Amino acid sequence: MSHKLESVKNLLVFLGKSLLSILEALLFHVISKPRKNVAGEIVLITGAGSGLGRLLALQFARLGSVLVLWDVNKETNEETHQLARDAGATRVHAYTCDCSRREEVYRVADQVKKEVGDVSILINNAGIVTGRKFLDCPDDLMEKSFDVNFKAHLWMYKAFLPAMIANNHGHLVCISSSAGLVGVNSLSDYCASKFAALGFAESMFIETLAEKQRGIKTTIVCPFFIKTGMFEGCTTKCPTLLPILDPEYAVRKIVDAILQEQLYLYMPKFLYFMMFLKSFLPVKTGILIADYLGVFHVMDGFTGQKKKS
């Protein structure tokens, strides 16, 4: 009898907490969730030398954060360093690092800890794209995609998560992609690496919860194509539903999600609806929708990032 009462009690507590969580979510759709202060926080951004990484650095510079900029390209990273200074950052540190190389990540991470301090916001942003059909993509490029887009996240977490746990304070940010939610023609290696990055970040979120490390937050970002040059030549058949995103808009949304400690951010919002449909529609219906939206041909005109001469 006591076992049954305990089961009923647990069920009622579960239902009550579930209802409260839903009401809280609905409330924050009407009233903006409070934004945390990141002034003085040490923010490390990988791939800071250009594109999204550079714009994220400038946004955090305006918020008074201490910036740690990592990029494989020293010249462009130094440019971001100067731009961040111009944007108002008082403490900016630039490091040249190839995040795909584990030992290099650990070496530069030790340097950061000695010279700057414990990183409290880690933004895994660095990424590359081959944009080739599976059988046309050389093995070494596929391996590089995984090394940069996914495996680098493992080494970054290994390097910086222990201090966050010790301080019970930190924020882990994964820049994944809409290609980490659904498969895309001519992006097989990229999709696989972004699915892996998302799965890893989600698993680590669950691990921190299970370990009761409440001070460590996670944000997982899945945007459609952004006009940074990385997906140059790509098109969209339905710009109303699936627009190619303006970089400034995307960065504002990402930073806002971090400040509000939002777990998932999909851009545009239509992606939330797409994932809902994917969860229950017949496969044939899903394929018809993908064909209607032009998803099979978004990469047809792909030329990729233009390198500086």
| 283 Cβ contact list (under 8 Å, min separation 6) | none
Euclidean distance between CA atoms 252 and 11, whole angstroms? 40
User: Residue 96: left if φ>0, alpha if ψ -120 to 50, beta else—which one?
Assistant: beta
Angle at 48 between CA 190 and CA 232, to 5 degrees: 45
Active-site residue 190, yes or no? Answer: yes
Query: Catalytic pick from 95, 106, 157, 190?
Result: 190
**DSSP structure string for the chain:** -HHHHHHHHHHHHHHHHHHHHHHHHHHHHHSPPPPPP-TT-EEEEETTTSHHHHHHHHHHHHTTPEEEEEES-HHHHHHHHHHHHHTT-S-EEEEE--TT-HHHHHHHHHHHHHHT---SEEEE---------GGGS-HHHHHHHHIIIIIHHHHHHHHHHHHHHHHT-EEEEEE--GGGTS--TT-HHHHHHHHHHHHHHHHHHHHHHHTT-TTEEEEEEEES-BTTTTTTT---S-TTTSPPBPHHHHHHHHHHHHHTT-SEEEESTHHHHHHHHHTTS-HHHHHHHHHHHTGGGTTTT---PPPP-
Provide the token pair at 124. 């895994």
Provide the token pair at 160. 């910086």
Active site residues: 190
